[in-house]
Structure 1
């Protein structure tokens, strides 16, 4: 399943059209961008990922045509449905609690996200211990995962609605 995600993500590199200004001039933040690399190699950020549940998408598209601030002109690509969502959906009040990853507000599938190197090592170690124990809670964990992803989908959808209603209020003023 990893190979189709990578190929569809690579296909998105050339097909970006800004949903706001319809411009095609953009920058892509992915590894080895220094800010993205900082998330991966800084061991202190493992706390953010494991305890706080903060996640960073694998690809971040920044529109160069929009006159807005950086936060409002950055978009996340969903390889499942092929749509771009504002990165603001997963910021502010909705930036915590994404332990299983960020979820697309349109299709409800997981968007590929980065993992901190230290948190990856910790999770691999815990996975190995779980394997050796015979995976005693596999059924419970599976049910919990589906409920959590459904909850994440509703959070992302509400986040998008909140942002669009705030933008509509700003335009009316």
Structure 2
């Protein structure tokens, strides 16, 4: 039966057209697949970048927490001089020589040096209420981000404790 259909001239032309109309189909499929794969790889790269930024931020917050506890322990040792720890949010000049006395000033200087060394543009301040023995420690630093806004790049860690 196939041989009979081959003799019909119209069928032969249709058969040839269908052969030629399929050329390039696999190339389009490959290009679409390449587009999808490249989009997926770009998304994975962006995800990895954000993950690294979040991990860095978590590390910096952990360091701020450690330094807050460190300063609270220093203050508990010198509880009779708790009022001397009151200070505004400020940075320390790392090029200047360390303060060695009195103990509260030396503690503040060492604490601020640690913050400035580990946290980018790190600053620290303390506000103590002598009547209630509640002290609030504030640590501020710059986050690494893609925005140009100065306000979004600042992170503030505040910790209050009764001594």
TM-score, reference length from structure 2: 0.23
Q: Which has the higher strand share?
A: 2
TM-score, reference length from structure 1: 0.22
Q: Which has the larger radius of gyration?
A: 2
Q: Which has the higher helix share?
A: 2
Task: Specify which structure has the bigger relative contact order, considering alpha-carbon pairs within 8 angstroms and separated by 6 or more residues.
Answer: 1
